[in-house]
Amino acid sequence: MTKNRRRSKAASSHDASTPESAALKDSVGCVSQGDMSPVSLCQAVLRKQLTEGMSTYRNSEKGTYLGEGLHQEERQLLDLLRRTATSGESNSVLVIGSRGSGKSKLIKHVIAELLLDDHIRENLLQVHLNGLLQTDDRIALTEITRQLKLENTLGDKVFGSFSETLQFLLEALKSGDQSSKPILFLLDEFDLFAHHKNQTLLYNLFDVAQSAQAPICVVGITCRLDVIELLEKRVKSRFSHRQIHLFNSQTFEDFIVIFKKLLCLDVNFPDQKFAESWNLQVEQLAKDPTITDILRQQFEFTKDVRALQQLLMYPVCQLSEMSPSLSVSDFVESRKLITMDSKSAMLHGVSILELCLIIAMKHLTEIYEGEPFNFEMVYSEYSKFAQRKSSMQVFEKAVVLKAFEHLIHLELVRTVDGAGSRVQKEYRLMQMLIHPTQILDALQKYPQCPTDVRQWAASSLAT
């Protein structure tokens, strides 16, 4: 934390040029800033800010980004890790929270805080594992030995078998005691580790944490609330049942604060005058009724900060020399893009014949109350309409079948009993995956839709 404070002080006094430019490069990334106008530089900074969330030093400085509620969790985790690092106490903890609630961010932040201490930085060994990469125990074990640099003790010997690796690792951990270096195991996507055979890895890690061997701290990260129930009883007994829960508990006011923070430029921006006027503009935007309305709608759907970042990305990307400020209409557009119904959008792209088939299927589903139908039924429904009521061309059966298959490929229609059934394709039972309201919506916007098709769709029970 002291380093950050120093950095911000240097930036405000404008004397030392090196830390300032380093900080800037840090926030802009690899983009060279010499030949850039303030607008494009601002765009680059904001894009970075939106993809990575807030830069870490910023949130340790102001401390509000993680939300006031998270300070307690942060302190609890920090205390726990610090005790492992300094007094050699073994621990295990699970961090649980829904997707996008800042679990990894919290842990990254805590570790960064922990490593500021020189003693801890020299002593602490870290092992990062991810349930999506280490899909079974064998891979996980080789990864652990690699990250602990244990293979050096045997020269560059490649391990023979899985069991040898396990014995080797357990031996190594058993030979350690309180005086050996503490190890921090971070298991991301922890619930996937619980699906490994016999949960051998988890048992062994927790067992080491509960016995007088090398001091380790096992931190599991997961989004499943019921993850404890996945553990086998002896694994569960060895787990210390410490759980840190993260919830998106912010109110709408907090949400607006986050919105402002995501868009504001910080003190390290080279053109201070531009930054000031920009921040003023963001302040005004936050008070704009249209923007608050959009934010409220977004807030009603999800309090997830990551979704908010996605919402803000479109307006930021629209910035250019021509339009150097964020416009309200871009926010409206962005919200529209996010909430667009994918099925209705897909229906705009189908041909009139396919649309007729969909309407025929809609009628069939309504008449038979959700019972599955087959192609012959759809075809007879369609030909009844095409011959009697419409002025349209009546297509041959083969053409209609082709259109029907196209709908299956788009997954607007689904076979009831899997693709592998041996029934002829005309008689295969199907179900529609479009809701009637979506069809009516799509028809409203369909370009040049014939009137009789529209009427046919509106008549509830076609006879």
Partner 1 sequence: KSSTCVTPKIPDRCEPLSSPSNVLEEARTRLHVSAVPDSLPCRETEFEDIFNFVESKILDGTGGCMYISGVPGTGKTATVHEVVRALHRATEQEELPGFKYIEINGMKLTEPRQAYVQMLQQLSNQKATPDHAADLLNKKFTTPGPRKETIVMLADELDLLWTRKQDVMYNIFDWPSHRHARLVVLAVANTMDLPERIMMKRVSSRLGLTRMTFQPYTFKQLQEIVISRMKGLKAFEEDAIQLAARKVAAVSGDARRALDICRRATEIAENLSPSKTKLSLVGMSHVNAALQEMFSSPKVVAMRTASDQEKIFLRAVVAEFQRCGLEEAEFAKIYIQHTALCRIDGLKPPSTTEMARVCARLGSVRLLLVEHGRNDLQMRVRLNVSQDDVLYALKEKSGV
CB of 110 to partner 1, least distance (A): 16
Distance CA 96, CA 184 (A): 18
**43 versus 90: smaller Cβ distance to partner 1:** 90
Bridge partner list, 94: 220, 243
CB of 226 to partner 1, least distance (A): 5
CB of 75 to partner 1, least distance (A): 8
Contacts 24+ apart (CB under 8 A), 73-77: 73/106, 73/244, 73/245, 73/246, 74/106, 74/109, 74/110, 76/244, 77/106, 77/107, 77/110, 77/219, 77/244
CB of 80 to partner 1, least distance (A): 8
Q: Show Cβ contacts of residue 324 under 8 Å, excluding neighbours closer than 6 positions.
A: 39
**86 versus 130: smaller Cβ distance to partner 1:** 86
Q: Which among 178, 213, 177, 221 is positioned nearest to 83, based on CA atoms? A: 178
The Cα angle at residue 86 between residues 82 and 88, in degrees rounded to 5: 105
**36 versus 148: smaller Cβ distance to partner 1:** 148
Bridge partner list, 219: 93, 186
CB of 204 to partner 1, least distance (A): 6
CB of 375 to partner 1, least distance (A): 19
Phi, psi of 79 (to 5 degrees): -60, -45
Q: Is the dihedral of CA 199, 202, 208, 210 positive or negative?
A: negative
**34 versus 155: smaller Cβ distance to partner 1:** 155
**172 versus 408: smaller Cβ distance to partner 1:** 172
**108 versus 157: smaller Cβ distance to partner 1:** 157
CB of 386 to partner 1, least distance (A): 27
Question: Which 3 state secondary structure label does DSSP give 381?
Answer: helix
**120 versus 400: smaller Cβ distance to partner 1:** 120
Distance CA 97, CA 247 (A): 6
Please report, for residues 26, 126, 207, 257, the alpha-carbon distance to residue 131 in angstroms, rounded to integers and kept in the order given. 30, 16, 20, 34
Bridge partner list, 254: none
CB of 306 to partner 1, least distance (A): 11
**25 versus 181: smaller Cβ distance to partner 1:** 181
Distance CA 143, CA 159 (A): 12
Please report, for residues 11, 19, 57, 269, 309, the alpha-carbon distance to residue 23 in angstroms, rounded to integers and kept in the order given. 9, 6, 10, 9, 23
CB of 198 to partner 1, least distance (A): 6
- Identify whether the C-beta of residue 185 lies closer than 8 Å to the C-beta of residue 216: yes
**38 versus 436: smaller Cβ distance to partner 1:** 436
